[in-house]
Chains A and B, each alone.
Chain A
Amino acid sequence: MLRTIIACIAILLTTAAVSARDIVTLKDGRMVEGDIIREIDGNIWMLVYIGDIKKQEFFSATTITNIERDAVVDVADKPAAGDEPAARSGVPRGMVITLEGMVGVEMAAHKLEELIPMIEEEIGEGGILVLKINSGGGFLAEIPLLSDTIEYKLKPKFEVVGWIESAISAAAMTGITLERLYFMPEGNLGAATGWSGALVAVRGRGLAEAKFLMEKISARGGRPYKIMEAMQGDPDNDFPLSATVDPQTGEVSWYQSEDDGEILVNPGGEILTFNSVTAEQLQFSEGVARDVYELTREMGYDEIDWVGEWEEGMVHPISKAEQANRRWRGFIDSNKGGLSRVARKYLLYRNAAGGAGPDDVGILVGKARGFLRQIKRYAKESPKLVTVTPELGIGWDDFDRWYTQQEDYLRQLTD
């Protein structure tokens, strides 16, 4: 028995001795080894390992004297990780901001940007910001806006991770901006094929633009584009995907074929959507978390001070920023129902006026004008909402032109 234990320890030491890790030397003389996962202005976020438990540490630039990247670590020369004094300075603060609803309507870049000062006030610069995504997709045009906001406005200020409940289509294409994704157990991400109408695929320039966009966003998240390409698909080509997980290093190699990798991830002719198990197995995600406590552990922290108030049934507390976010989304949702009803009425009266005799047209146009003005008010309050009201059939950013057309038409009826 003892011999077995000694043998196991020897294997562990051998493995550790050849691991390539980053080493950060601090001004107090300590050397901390692990994987640097983030670096801003010299500040370092690092995953350190204690056995199979990972723990996240933060070191400010002022405390660091040297960084050795991908160093070969010889644990025999170093004290056991457990003997090292804690390197972090205090418990970090974190919050969850939910990104839900239709991309471009409820899940919108301008709102996320508006929340930044509130987020900063509550968790401070360097705080942990979890973007919890639950969306069935939406407008392609919003994806670069959201991705830019995350990349250029959130990542430089906060430690940003994604927490996926459901990220389908445009939501998946947005979510992969983030290097680190965690899934809820029921989580899914993928199915990013562009389409319109009766399941008609986007082709030609539109498809080329979507692919180019996703190449850039995949790179932001540090993932090979071939993963997203298997999620996007193509009406004229198959994009199979297979992968091999190196048993020694855990590194995943991806292949755009069915046979080159040991694991068939997506057969040719199908569209990829990860679930929480497959995402973790292939290291597309960092782990699975049901609530913020599990998320804390998965992120490698002992403790995170999650700001906000707990409400019954929530898996995370509601911060002030998140409260504002929810209020806004509620406002949009109530407008959505109202706008849909007004749009139907407008079209009924407009069409009736179009076929009415001279005695009746005036009263019908009058009613139609009333509903048209209501539509304008909704459009002013939530500009993107009119675009997703199917009754109106208005294109992206095309409301003003549509409104003028409608006014002209009604005027012609009464002239």
Chain B
Amino acid sequence: MSTNTGTIQSTVKALRGLAGGLTLGAAVALTGMLAIPMAQAEAAVASELALDKLILSNGKIIEGEILSETATEVRFKVIVAGISAPATFKKSQIIKIVRGDADPAPDANDADDNRANADQTVDDDGVVISASTDAPRVYVINLKGRFGRAITPTPVRAAVQAARKAEPDFLIVHLDNAWEYRGGGGVQLPDEIQGSFDEFTIADAIEPIFTKEIELEWEKQPHVVFWVGNAMGGAAFLPFLADEIYMEPDGRIGGIGTLEEMFEGVGDEVVRQKQRSLRLARAQGLAIANGYDYRFINALARRSYVLSYDIYGNLYERMPENPNEFVLTDNGKGDNADTENQKVRGTGNDVLTLKADTSLKLGLSSGTAADMDELLELLGILRNHEMIEGRSDKILAAWSKNVDNSLRQMRSLYRDIEAVQVAGTPAEMRRALSSQISYLERIRGIFYKYGEAFGGGVANITQIETQIEQIRIQILLLRD
């Protein structure tokens, strides 16, 4: 992953967007005349870049574009002398996959087809937006609110399953989680915070939803794009599940430092180190499995970790050694320690907070987009796409509302339990105790449904069941 690659990909995408816009926007007036030269121009750009290659066990090398990949097969657009055709290769036939750095040129035939099928509308700016019947379908899921409460596996899974029905070509996940001072007052926290690393367990539970489950359950594999506003705390791990990351201009990924301080003051240092080591390795694995450099995870999580990069986007686990190298994170010791001023402003470098510009330079992000149109432009589909309205956002909003309601309901039920007077005759006491059990069973029911969003601070299922059993003992000992 280098800066060069990111820049070139962005250039190609911008050109593709431009080519598509001109071709389709002017389709009625300039039938065919502009389309073919633009397609050729785009092909010229792409031809300078490496295509994907499949090296087969029979010695053949196939060039083209990987369309999708499963555990057993690779769907591949084979390109020979500018002519393309889809084909499927079993992984057992493939010795090696060499991934190129560019999308291939589109078929001239595709451009003709798009023109022929174009439905045109005029947007507010008077720009002709065309959506051919085979235009790429775009579906957007907005992940907002608190990570671990509004963003948890159950609603995310339901939102992604709702998206599946739309069969989008692009699944855009707009991630902008709340990152506020949790003690109240709404004060924005500094970028680094101790203790958020363990929110990885939530990200780890969400991981298969965007990877294995899409691969298995979706007939048409979408291009999964994470567009990042705030990816802070445990949410910082989510962009590493994307096929491509784009950032908002103020976007940031971070807030999972500092791992070194986790468990501080508990037990022996060697065991604390063990706990930190295994956690870090699991998080590294999530990044590696999805094609990202695990060293970003180290830099996001560890104060003592030193990481630099050069103008080509290469990473070095040391301080910069020449003017073309820049520090991402220093060791945070002595003079290198972030000042309070830097912490509050989020400009420190004891642990990494990835911003839009740095992410782009590192090739981690493919571009920076202030709004959806800019994002679609960068993806090369602004002028020709179909935006699908789905239920995902409603599902996520309903979950948040239900979680809030259920917490209120639980508090109310606990008040009801306390209000029950266990007094009078044994029969009256039995009835009172039974009603307490009934309230506790309702609380348990709420917990089963929404417990993943409650975090700490509320009784868990085991505690509730113990309370129920203790009341049963009281009933057992009542004598008429």
Question: What is the interface of chain A, defined by CB distance below 8 A to chain B?
Answer: 53, 136, 166, 168-169, 184-188, 190-193, 195, 197-201, 233-235, 269-277, 290-291, 293-294, 296-297, 302-303, 312-315, 341, 344-345, 348-349, 352, 356, 359-360, 363-364, 367
Contacts and interface: CB of A to CB of B under 8 A. Distances in A.
A233 to B, nearest CB: 4
Closest 4 CB pairs of A and B: A199-B267, A186-B285, A188-B281, A193-B274
A190 B268 contact: no
A243 to B, nearest CB: 14
A315 B263 CA distance: 36
Interface stretch (B21-29, B189-197, B463-471): B463-471
B71 A276 contact: no
Q: Give the residue among B57, B72, B284, B294 with the most A Cβ atoms within 10 A.
A: B284
Given A166-B285, A293-B72, A303-B92, 10 more contacts: A166-B282, A169-B278, A184-B289, A199-B267, A233-B274, A272-B277, A275-B281, A276-B285, A312-B216, A360-B477
Nearest to B273: A271
B61 interface: no
Contacts of B465: 341, 344
A188 B287 CA distance: 12
A273 B259 CA distance: 15
B271 A186 contact: no
B306 to A, nearest CB: 11
Interface SS of chain B: helix
A201 B275 CA distance: 12
10 contacts: A188-B281, A190-B278, A190-B281, A193-B274, A195-B274, A275-B281, A275-B284, A275-B288, A293-B72, A302-B57
Contacts, number: 128
Given A341-B465, A344-B465, A191 B274 contact: yes
Interface string B249-292: 00000000000000100111111111111101110111011000
A293 B70 CA distance: 11
Interface of B: 57, 71-72, 90-92, 95, 212, 216, 263, 266-278, 280-282, 284-286, 288-289, 294, 462, 465-466, 469-470, 473, 476-477, 479
B441 to A, nearest CB: 15
Given A235-B268, A303-B92, A193 B273 contact: yes
Contacts of B281: 188, 190-191, 273-275
Contacts of B479: 359
A271 B476 contact: no
A269 B269 contact: yes
Contacts of A195: 267-268, 271, 274
A399 B277 CA distance: 34
* Chain B CB within 10 Å, residue with most, of A168, A186, A193: A186
B473 A348 contact: yes
B285 A271 contact: no
Contacts of B92: 293, 296, 303
Contact of A186 (B274, B276, B286): B286
A201 B477 contact: no
A193 B271 contact: yes
A87 B60 CA distance: 23
Contacts of B294: 275, 277
B282 A188 contact: yes
Nearest to A296: B92
Given A273-B281, A290-B71, A199 B469 contact: no
B95 A297 contact: yes
Given A271-B277, A276-B288, A363-B476, A294 B270 contact: no
Contacts of B57: 302
A273 B267 contact: no
A349 B473 contact: yes
Nearest to B286: A186
A271 B294 CA distance: 17
Contacts of A136: 278
A273 B271 contact: no
Contacts of A235: 268-270
B462 to A, nearest CB: 7
B270 A201 contact: yes
A234 B269 CA distance: 10
A274 B280 CA distance: 10
A163 to B, nearest CB: 14
Contact of A294 (B91, B274, B476, B477): B91
Contacts of A360: 477
A34 B288 CA distance: 32
Nearest to A291: B71
B269 A188 contact: no
A295 to B, nearest CB: 10
A168 B278 CA distance: 7
A348 B266 CA distance: 29
A136 B280 CA distance: 14
Contacts of B288: 185-186, 275-277
Contacts of A312: 216
Contacts of A185: 285, 288-289
A351 B278 CA distance: 38
Nearest to A188: B281
Contacts of B91: 291, 293-294
Q: Which of B92, B275, B462 is packed against the most chain A CB atoms within 10 Å?
A: B92
Contacts of B72: 291, 293
A115 to B, nearest CB: 24
A185 to B, nearest CB: 4
A191 to B, nearest CB: 4
Contacts of A191: 274-275, 277-278, 281
Nearest to B291: A185
Contact of B466 (A188, A233, A348, A352): A348
Residue in B272, B281, B286, B288 with the greatest tally of chain A CB atoms within 10 Å: B281
